[in-house]
A and B are shown apart, each in its own frame.
Chain A
Amino acid sequence: MIKLVGVEKKLGGQPVLQGIDLSIPVGKLTTIIGRSGEGKSVLLKHMIGLMQPDCGEVWVGDVEISRLSGTPLNDVRKQFAMLFQGAALFDSLSVFENVAFPLREKLRMKGPEVGRRVEEKLKEVGLAGMGHKFPAELSGGMRKRAGLARALVMEPEIILFDEPTTGLDPLMAKSIHDLIVSMHRRFGFTAVMVSHEIPEIFAISDWVAMLRKGRIALMATSAEFQRTTDPEIQEFISVGGTAALPGSLARPHYS
Chain B
Amino acid sequence: MTSAIARLGTWAVMSVREMGRMLLFVLSAFAWLMRPPFRFYQFIKQLHFIGYRSTFVVVLTAGFTGMVLALQGYYTLRKFGSEGLLGSAVALSMIRELGPVLAALMVTARAGSAMTAEIGIMRITEQIDALDTMAINPLQYLIAPKLVAGVLGVPLLVAIFDVVGIYGGSLVGVDLLGVSEGAYWNSVASAVEWKDVYGGILKSISFGLIISWVCCYKGFYTRQSAEGLGSATTEAVVLSSVLILVGDYVLTSVLL
Contact = CB atoms under 8 A, between A and B. Distances in A.
B18 interface: no
Contacts of A160: 133
Contact of A82 (B37, B122, B130): B130
B126 A85 contact: yes
Contacts of A91: 121-122, 125, 127
Interface string A100-142: 0110011010000000000000000000000000000000000
B235 interface: no
Interface stretch (B54-62, B134-142, B158-166, B237-245): B134-142
A50 B123 CA distance: 13
A77 B135 contact: yes
A88 B127 contact: yes
B133 A48 contact: yes
Given A86-B125, A88-B125, A106 B135 contact: yes
B181 interface: no
A49 B132 CA distance: 9
Contacts of A75: 135
A23 interface: no
A101 B134 contact: yes
B250 to A, nearest CB: 34
Contact of A74 (B127, B129, B135, B141): B135
A84 B136 contact: no
A78 interface: yes
A90 interface: yes
A161 interface: no
A211 interface: no
Interface of A: 45, 48-50, 74-75, 77-78, 80-82, 84-86, 88-91, 101-102, 105-106, 108, 160
5 shortest interchain CB distances as A-B pairs: A74-B135, A88-B130, A88-B126, A77-B135, A82-B133
Interface of B: 37, 121-122, 125-127, 129-130, 132-137, 141
